[in-house]
């Protein structure tokens, strides 16, 4: 069989196929299934210390379908981060790493702008044996009122500071996940690298309103009459994502801006 193994940021992956943070990484059961299906790595659904502050609603998805074939080409969600207790995640991280020691488990994490909270979150995940971190600075609807997610990711100075806290708390790889909802994606990325992130992940979802229900004149999805712009993903956003990945790669490697000069 062909050898697809790769080393990324010091992480040895049996193949370069990694599941992004979201429903397929929502608990140990589905993460285990992904590894049984031979995925090289899984980034878990984003976790935080206090899940009681996270209230997920339903319905929280809306689809864009191609005319004719009805194939889903775009996907909008207003899903928040994981609403499962952090202690449950600690237990599951340990179980997954015990069962799949050679697979790469990346903890996606998000916290408020508080050094103690970030350091505690990083240290407790690290104690469970996760292989790397992805810092979720990017969820577009992820509790901006608490300056979390994209609200943090649109503020390069803050990102540099938070990445510095994380860098001080761990020696394993740390990837800062960028929001596309910003004019120049390289600015927060550069600040994250300066702060100590060892890699950049892109992109999270693009702020969107999928449509308007012509009967109720409410945007979709609507929950008990209320709505909020959600995050757009899937095939429809790939060209925009690739443009942003290109800009990041040019910043990091292509235009002579080596890491030391960020
Ligand atoms: C239902 C859903 C939930 C998601 N939850 C998270 C999350 O908890 N943390 C995160 O960093 N990204 C989350 N994402 C974003 C994905 O990881 C990914 O960045 C985004 O969907 C764009 O990639 P894609 O077009 O290949 O799906 C979620 C996406 C979807 C569709």
Instruction: Give domain status of residue 209, yes or no.
Output: yes
Structure tokens at 128: 């469970």
Q: What is the pLDDT of residue 209?
A: 95
Taking the mean position of all CA atoms in its chain, how far away is CA 247?
19
How far is 221 from 230, CA to CA, in rounded Å? 9
Q: What is the pLDDT of residue 150?
A: 85
How far is 50 from 145, CA to CA, in rounded Å? 16
CA of 205 to the centre of ligand 1 (A): 6
Q: Is 125 among the residues known to form the active site?
A: no
Structure tokens at 205: 């979802």
Structure tokens at 147: 């300056």
Tell whether the model's pLDDT for residue 255 goes beyond 70.
no
Which residue, chain included where needed, has tokens 């878990």? 44
The number of beta carbons lying within 10 Å of the beta carbon of residue 256 is: 7
Instruction: Give domain status of residue 3, yes or no.
Output: no
| 75 Cβ contact partners less than 8 Å away, ≥ 6 residues apart | 61, 62, 63, 64, 232, 233, 234
Instruction: Give domain status of residue 261, yes or no.
Output: no
Higher pLDDT, 80 or 150: 80
Tell whether the model's pLDDT for residue 95 goes beyond 50.
yes
How many CA atoms, within 13 angstroms, populate the side-chain half-sphere of residue 119? Answer: 8
H helical segments located in the chain: 28-36, 86-99, 115-127, 150-153, 156-169, 186-195, 238-249
Which residue in 77, 83, 76, 177 sits closest to 135, CA to CA?
177
Q: What angle (nearest 5°) sits at the alpha carbon of residue 42, between those of residues 178 and 125?
A: 80
233 Cβ below 6 A of ligand 1: yes
Instruction: Give domain status of residue 2, yes or no.
Output: no
Helix, strand, or coil (residue 60):
coil
Q: What is the pLDDT of residue 231?
A: 95
204 Cβ below 6 A of ligand 1: yes
Instruction: Give domain status of residue 121, yes or no.
Output: yes
Q: What is the mean pLDDT of residues 168-189?
A: 97
Instruction: Give domain status of residue 260, yes or no.
Output: no
Per the residue annotation, which of 44, 125, 139, 163 is the catalytic one?
A: 139
pLDDT tens for 63-76 read 999 999 999 999 99
CATH of the domain at 14: 3.20.20.70
pTM: 0.94
Instruction: Give domain status of residue 262, yes or no.
Output: no
- Structural domains counted in the chain: 1
Range of the domain at 204: 9-255
Residue pair 135/162 in contact (Cβ under 8 Å)? The answer is yes
Instruction: Give domain status of residue 109, yes or no.
Output: yes
- Protein residue with its CA nearest to atom 19 in ligand 1: 204
CA of 238 to the centre of ligand 1 (A): 13
23 Cβ below 6 A of ligand 1: yes
Q: Which of 37-51, 155-169, 244-258 has the lowest mean pLDDT?
A: 244-258
181 Cβ below 6 A of ligand 1: no
Q: What is the mean pLDDT of residues 220-224?
A: 90
């Amino acid at each position: 069989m062909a050898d697809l193994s790769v080393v990324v940021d010091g992480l040895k992956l049996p193949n370069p196929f990694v599941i992004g943070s979201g429903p397929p990484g929502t608990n140990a059961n589905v993460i285990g299934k992904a590894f049984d299906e031979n995925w090289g790595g899984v980034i878990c659904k984003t976790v935080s210390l206090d899940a009681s502050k996270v209230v997920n609603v339903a319905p929280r998805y809306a689809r864009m379908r191609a005319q004719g074939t009805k194939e889903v080409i775009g996907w909008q969600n207003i899903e928040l981060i994981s609403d499962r207790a952090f202690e449950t995640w600690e237990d599951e991280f340990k179980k997954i790493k015990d069962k799949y020691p050679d697979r790469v488990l990346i903890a996606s994490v998000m916290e408020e702008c508080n050094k103690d909270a970030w350091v505690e979150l990083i240290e407790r995940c690290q104690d469970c044996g996760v292989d790397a971190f992805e810092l979720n600075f990017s969820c577009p609807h992820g509790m901006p009122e608490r300056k979390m997610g994209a609200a943090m990711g649109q503020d390069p100075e803050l990102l540099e500071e938070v990445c510095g806290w994380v860098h001080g708390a761990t020696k394993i790889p740390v990837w800062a996940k960028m929001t596309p909802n910003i004019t120049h994606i390289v600015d927060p990325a550069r600040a994250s690298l300066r702060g100590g992130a060892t890699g950049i992940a892109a992109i999270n979802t693009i702020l969107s309103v999928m449509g308007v229900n012509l009967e109720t004149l409410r945007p979709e999805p609507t929950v008990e009459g209320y709505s909020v712009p959600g995050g757009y993903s899937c095939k429809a956003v790939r060209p925009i994502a690739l443009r942003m990945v290109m800009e990041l790669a040019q910043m990091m490697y292509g235009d002579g801006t080596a890491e030391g000069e960020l």
